[in-house]
Amino acid sequence: MESYNKLVRDNIPDHLDAKGISYEKRIADVEEYKKELIKKLDEEIKEFLEIKNTEELADIIEVIEALKKLPEFSDVEEVRIKKLKDKGGFEKKIILKGEK
């Protein structure tokens, strides 16, 4: 049987209950939650790079949305917009080649 100890989406316990799968559940404190969200982001990015599908991209976005709610990242949208105005986005598909 596979073992796990990780942050999961809010409704996963309900799905496990419906399937009769046993588990232990606890609520993370703020610091652990932040650490686990960052681990989850890494996990989801790796899955996206391997599978490259919409579902995995949606998982990345969901983790980012949760991170944005943490106090230390609460200004990320303002920073994103400022960078967009200053440096632009990626819509023009520009590839640069050169040396550092």
pLDDT in tens, 47-76: 999 999 999 999 999 999 999 999 999 999
Asked, for residue 13, whether it belongs to a domain, the answer is no
- Domain count of the fold of the chain: 1
Mean pLDDT of the region 30-44:
98
First to last CA, the chain: 49
How many beta carbons lie within 10 A of that of residue 44, not counting itself? 19
- The answer to whether residue 62 sits within a structural domain is yes
The gap from C-alpha 63 to its chain's centroid, in whole angstroms, comes to 3
**3 state SS of 90:** coil
Task: Report the mean per-residue pLDDT for the chain.
Answer: 96
Asked, for residue 22, whether it belongs to a domain, the answer is no
Using a cut of 0.85, tell me whether the model's pTM lies above it: yes
In a domain, 74, yes or no: yes
Nearest Cα to 56, choosing from 69, 42, 72? 42
Q: Which domain holds residue 43?
A: 28-87
Among 8, 78, 13, CA closest to 36: 8
